[in-house]
Amino acid sequence: MDRVSLIGMMSIFVAGFTIAIGSIAPSLGEGRAVAQALSALAQQPDEANTITRTLFVGLAFIESVAIYCFVISLILIFANPFWNYVIEKAGA
């Protein structure tokens, strides 16, 4: 197995691992945030506008972690910075 194949296989593996681990924590965080927001809405229904606005801002911040992991995995698959280095070393 040459180095180019090894870099390709490891890039795909790490991209998949990044998505797997990077999506577990945000989904658990979003579930907990929604559960707490529903509990707060049940206790204080007159503050619904404030709670839902804060919930949506918090969910956007939590979701950004999953989006960053997705972007990193796309970079590893399609714009891998190691490809040029390995191809140069393999040709030299």
pLDDT for 92 = 57
Quote the CA–CA distance of 5 and 51 in Å, as a whole number: 51
Quote the CA–CA distance of 36 and 31 in Å, as a whole number: 9
Task: Annotate 18-77 with DSSP letters as a single string.
Answer: HHHHHHHHHHHHHHHHHHHHHHHHHH-GGGHHHHHHHHHHHHHHHHHHHHHHHHHHHHHH
Question: So what CATH class is 3-91?
Answer: mainly alpha
pLDDT band at 40 (very low <50, low <70, confident <90, very high): very high
pLDDT of residue 31 exceeding 90? yes
- Kindly report, residue by residue over 43-81, the tens digit of the pLDDT: 999 999 999 999 999 999 988 988 998 998 888 888 877
Quote the CA–CA distance of 63 and 70 in Å, as a whole number: 11
> For the chain, which residues make up each domain, given as ranges?
3-91
pTM above 0.85, yes or no: no
